[in-house]
Amino acid sequence: MRERDGTSLGHLAERTAVLMLHGRSVPVLAGFDLDFKSYSWADALARAGYDVFMMDLQGSGLSPRPKMDDPRNVNPAQQHLLKPRPPGFTPGPPNYPFQLTNSNSDRDDLNAVVDWIIRERGVEKVAFIGWSAAAFTMGPYAVKNPGKVSSLFLLAPIFPPEGTSNAPDPLPQPGFPTFVSTKGGTWDGWGSEVHCEGQREDEMRDQVWDAIMASDPVGSTWGPVGEGRNRIRNFVRWGWNKTTAGQGGVLGGSVPVLIAYGESDRQVNTSSEDPEFNFSVPALYNAIAGNHKLMVKLDCAGHSLVWEMQHKNVHNLSKHWLKHLKVDGKTQGIFDMNTNGDISPAP
């Protein structure tokens, strides 16, 4: 966990704590605290007076990665990407033939950090900001623990409206602990959602990858020298769907919710026949039972909008949300945001 303390000495009793959580494949520091130009979202919030905490779940970033240091525990279909081979590595079946973490362990990790923040910083609740697959952890946690969560800002949330509510049996689930990704494949994947001139800077290819590698001391030594491989934990998820999102009217009730996503994001809105991979942001908005809910779609933005032209507008949107819990003076509704940061009701 990293903290950026934005509370001035004269306002310690009024401090507001914000906790930021990463998605599936990008460590928290590369996503939220990128030390390049104006891209650090955490810095923007700290400068606005918030105490900002960023955490990596087990298996991600600088948190412990049990079983992931063994290259044999990489997805067998991806072991060919480990060239030149790490010392002593011979491709084959995983030595630990299970997925690494699950929804319960992720929520336990989150709870440990939330309790620490509340205790050490003397706050009653913590405001959540989560990107992408963070929704699987932060959403259900807020439903079960509304007394600890003041608000929920979900950026590009992954949400399967018909996903399963129940844990699979047995746990751990068979599989492997680790996926890997390459620098070129990662950049090209983001590029499939770039449709506007100036949507992303070419410099971001190196800046983001170098930040990911800085959070992966082992993966950075795999693959081609000077490039490395991004190690991505394999986890089992459940308990985040239209039933659980609306449970008890908590989300949008005692926990106000703001959802933001890019118009070109094809990772959050899919059409898979598999209900576990059929995702929809509008379905999440509709599933939230309370009335204090807002949704903003950003022009010229994809799933990686934290590193795109709209990043400053996202920073400003979150600062306004944390202070007022409103968008355009309203506590409910669907809006569009252009690249100048102007907000208007969706047609």
- Residue range 215-266, pLDDT digits in tens: 999 999 999 999 999 999 999 999 999 999 999 999 999 999 999 999 999 9
On average, the pLDDT of the chain sits at 96
Tokens (6 digits) for 233: 């934990």
pLDDT of residue 7: 79
- Find how far residue 28's CA is from the centre of its chain: 8
Q: How far apart are CA 290 and CA 182, in angstroms?
A: 41
pLDDT of residue 15: 81
- Find how far residue 84's CA is from the centre of its chain: 31
Residue 10 has pLDDT above 60, yes or no: no
- Residue range 110-149, pLDDT digits in tens: 999 999 999 999 999 999 999 999 999 999 999 999 999 9
Q: How far apart are CA 319 and CA 314, in angstroms?
A: 9
pLDDT of residue 1: 95
User: What mean pLDDT comes out for the span 292-306?
Assistant: 98
CA separation, residue 51 to residues 11, 81, 274 (Å): 11, 40, 40
pLDDT band at residue 49 under the 50/70/90 scheme: very high
Q: State the amino acid at position 232 in one-letter form.
A: I
Q: Are 262 and 314 in contact (CB under 8 A)?
A: no
pLDDT of residue 6: 86
pLDDT band at residue 13 under the 50/70/90 scheme: low
Question: Which DSSP helix (H) or strand (E) runs through 311?
Answer: helix 311-324
Q: How far apart are CA 256 and CA 151, in angstroms?
A: 5
Give the three-state DSSP class for 282: helix
User: What mean pLDDT comes out for the span 162-173?
Assistant: 97
- Residue range 306-322, pLDDT digits in tens: 999 999 999 999 999 99
Tokens (6 digits) for 275: 């209900």
pLDDT of residue 224: 95
